[in-house]
Structure 1
Amino acid sequence: MAGQDQVHAVLPEIEPMLATSAPLPGEGYDLDWGFEIQWDGARTVVYCAGDRTVRLVSGDGADVTRTYPELAGIGEQHGQRQAVLDGEIVVLDDRGRPDVEQLRRRMGVVNPRKVARLTMDAPVHLMLFDVMYLDGRSLLSTPYRERRMSLAGLDLTGPRWSTPEWTEGDVQHAWATSLRNGYEGIVAKRLASDYQPGRRSPDWIKAKHIETHSVVIGGWIEGRGELRGLPGSLLVGVDAPDGLRFAGIVEHGLSAAELGELGEYLGALSRSDTPFADFVDVPGAQWVEPRLVAEVTVSGWTTTGRLRNATWQRLRPDLTRR
């Protein structure tokens, strides 16, 4: 399209800057930092060509403009101004929190009919939080605080996009606000920092709210490559009045040694049918007697009752079920 050709010809291609996982600046050391919500969505760079068109590029460099047609109005609103913006695409639940499962339904879809249906069923929202280029001028060397002021001046608010508020110099308030509203966590950004394309910088720090839960192992999925024959991920559940309810899949945090040990345990507990009270549609699932209890950390629960970002911590032999 002509608008997209113009973007390539005029606007600089900019990779998104990345945050590090590290402790947040403590109280009294936070005056030089700004704080934003961590949205747990799909990172997106937005190219407004100045001809009322927009191009959306994912964090890994793929053009996703056709996947999210409800965001085309950003180009209309931005008019003849040229800009490269940074943001995150989310699907919000009825309480205004990101719904990761609904977002996954949208990601990678390009079939026009399916896109049109999903646009109605799971509309996305774009959270804008930075501007790297504006009207012919690079803002990469401009301090974060000034970039945020420039972004606010663009007044980019629409039916499916907005510029969320941020706070300055009060880490405790930012942390408590994100926790109270059920967000994943916060991102701290040094007020004087420049924008470093493609770099994971200590000038941006991300921190998640972490919960610890005990879950029951009810099945597993075979790993690939060197893990063939061993569990690659675990199907876990939690006790409920009607039985063991499926709570999701754990695939992060397991060492090779732990997978080998679990393979022996789970092999001895094999069964032919699911131990879960609810329907679980997981291809390749191998079921086991729900005896072993594990400890996992998560960043919360999805609206459908699934663990969010579950990470293995350890087996809990002291809690083994009979």
Structure 2
Amino acid sequence: MAPTAEQGSAPYPLIRPMLATIGPLPDELEEADWAFEAKWDGARCIVNTPGDGTVRLVTRAGNDATTTYPELAPLGDQLRGRPVVLDGEVVVLDVRGRPDFGLLQRRMGVVNPRRTARLAMEHPVHLILFDVMYLGRSLLGTPYHERRSVLSGLRLRGPNWSTPAYVVGHAQQAWEASLQGGLEGVVAKRLTSAYLPGLRSPEWRKTKHLQTLDVIIGGWTEGHGSLAGLPGSVLAGVAEPAGLRYVGSVGSGLSDQERHELARYLGVIRLDRSPFVNAVDVVGAHFAEPRLVAEITLTGWTSAGRLRHPIWHRLRPDLTRL
């Protein structure tokens, strides 16, 4: 088996996060073999400590985020004396206690100590811990349910971190609970699954809640390469009392046939000014009369009122604005 971690000079292995595949929840016949966790709308974070009271935080991309989230430094005290590598998700909670990725984005990548200190007061992060891959020895081959037992035994609770429980079986109850809690979805993990650093495994399966929304097309941006001259994405808006508000661009999910159809339609209803009441912050925008309506899916909204993970579904000719 190929090596999965690099030892380097640290007293712990450098482990990349294991990734989940997208798929449906396990059905009733197999759900007893799976654990279900909430899917948090945040940023993956690997926590490393040699046990000397310090922690090193590493993002999924391999970047050091230790100075970005200074409020997580005290976690090292709880882990003192134990070389540990943990897996988790950094989130920022809104006033209702729900993850807000838009607020988290204000924290990501900031390294200036004075600014990070101020942001830690304004928008403190919370670290959701859900796995342990090393505790004085490698736990990579240890089954998930045993790793979770080890993690629970660490009793890691603090003002900016916690270890939420998981449930075995009861997929539908977990799904409903995540929906009511305003979470992004559910992650199902096979109870016997090993931890596979850097790999996307079907032993972990993520299922997201999706919202459906009808948006009004107010323009488009040109695609690149083979899509030159065609819409790479459309500019989406929603009708409000003050006018049409731009809420983001949608390009994912568009087929080649749909791009050609849109190019014909939008070419007929070209507009030399923006139909939106707010600014459109994209380069090379082409505007159109807001007549066409499209159905999209999204996982939610950013704090700035923009679409989060929008995906094109279909054009709605029945709702075309004449």
**TM-score normalized by the length of structure 2:** 0.91
Which residue identity lines up with residue 242 of structure 2 in the other structure?
D
Q: 1:284 to 1:36 in 2, by over 3 A?
A: same
Of residues 264-273 and 81-90 in structure 1, the stretch that sits farther from structure 2 once superposed is 264-273
**Alignment partner, residue 63 of structure 2:** 62
Q: Distance in 2 between matches of 1:152 and 1:220?
A: 50
Of residues 235-244 and 39-48 in structure 1, the stretch that sits farther from structure 2 once superposed is 235-244
Q: Distance in 1 between matches of 2:25 and 2:269?
A: 43
Q: Distance in 1 between matches of 2:44 and 2:56?
A: 14
Asked if structure 1 preserves the Cα contact closer than 8 Å seen for 2:103 and 2:303, the reply is: no
Query: How many residue pairs align between the two structures?
Result: 316
**Alignment partner, residue 174 of structure 1:** 174
Q: 1:196 to 1:289 in 2, by over 3 A?
A: same
Which residue identity lines up with residue 266 of structure 2 in the other structure?
L
Q: 1:233 to 1:69 in 2, by over 3 A?
A: farther
**Alignment partner, residue 35 of structure 2:** 34
- 1:297 is aligned to 2:293: no
Asked if structure 2 preserves the Cα contact closer than 8 Å seen for 1:7 and 1:47, the reply is: no
Report the CA distance between 1:78 and its aligned residue. Answer: 1.4
Report the CA distance between 1:24 and its aligned residue. Answer: 1.1
Q: 1:296 to 1:28 in 2, by over 3 A?
A: same
**Alignment partner, residue 259 of structure 2:** 259
Asked if structure 2 preserves the Cα contact closer than 8 Å seen for 1:7 and 1:48, the reply is: no
Which residue identity lines up with residue 120 of structure 1 in the other structure?
M
Q: Distance in 1 between matches of 2:62 and 2:232?
A: 29
Report the CA distance between 1:7 and its aligned residue. Answer: 8.2
SS in 2 for 1:194: coil
Report the CA distance between 1:179 and its aligned residue. Answer: 0.6
Which residue identity lines up with residue 209 of structure 1 in the other structure?
H
Which residue identity lines up with residue 95 of structure 2 in the other structure?
D
Q: Distance in 2 between matches of 1:263 and 1:11?
A: 55
Q: Distance in 1 between matches of 2:69 and 2:124?
A: 8
Asked if structure 1 preserves the Cα contact closer than 8 Å seen for 2:218 and 2:235, the reply is: yes
**Alignment partner, residue 115 of structure 2:** 114
Q: Distance in 2 between matches of 1:154 and 1:226?
A: 54
Asked if structure 1 preserves the Cα contact closer than 8 Å seen for 2:132 and 2:148, the reply is: yes
Partner deviation per Cα, 1:91-112 (whole Å, 9 max, x = no partner)? 1111121111122222222233
Partner deviation per Cα, 1:29-65 (whole Å, 9 max, x = no partner)? 2111110011121111110120111111111212121
**Alignment partner, residue 209 of structure 1:** 209
Asked if structure 1 preserves the Cα contact closer than 8 Å seen for 2:10 and 2:50, the reply is: no
Written as runs of structure 1 = structure 2, the 5 A alignment for 1:67-106 is 67-106=68-107
**TM-score normalized by the length of structure 1:** 0.91
Q: Distance in 1 between matches of 2:41 and 2:257?
A: 31
Report the CA distance between 1:312 and its aligned residue. Answer: 0.7
Asked if structure 1 preserves the Cα contact closer than 8 Å seen for 2:11 and 2:83, the reply is: no
For structure 1, the 5+ residue unaligned runs are 1-5
SS in 2 for 1:103: helix
Q: Distance in 1 between matches of 2:164 and 2:101?
A: 19
SS in 2 for 1:276: coil
Which residue identity lines up with residue 191 of structure 2 in the other structure?
L
Q: 1:228 to 1:117 in 2, by over 3 A?
A: farther
Report the CA distance between 1:285 and its aligned residue. Answer: 3.0
Written as runs of structure 1 = structure 2, the 5 A alignment for 1:1-322 is 8-134=9-135, 136-322=136-322
Partner deviation per Cα, 1:10-39 (whole Å, 9 max, x = no partner)? 110111111111121112421111100111
SS in 2 for 1:145: helix
Q: Distance in 2 between matches of 1:290 and 1:227?
A: 23
Q: Distance in 1 between matches of 2:221 and 2:68?
A: 30
Q: Distance in 1 between matches of 2:202 and 2:272?
A: 50
Which residue identity lines up with residue 82 of structure 1 in the other structure?
P
Asked if structure 2 preserves the Cα contact closer than 8 Å seen for 1:220 and 1:233, the reply is: yes
Of residues 249-258 and 207-216 in structure 1, the stretch that sits farther from structure 2 once superposed is 249-258
Q: 1:69 to 1:284 in 2, by over 3 A?
A: farther
Q: 1:186 to 1:47 in 2, by over 3 A?
A: same
Report the CA distance between 1:316 and its aligned residue. Answer: 1.4
Q: Distance in 1 between matches of 2:272 and 2:232?
A: 19
Partner deviation per Cα, 1:229-286 (whole Å, 9 max, x = no partner)? 4332222112223322233221321234433332332233222332223444444433
- Give the % identical residues: 60
* Greater fraction of residues in helix: 1
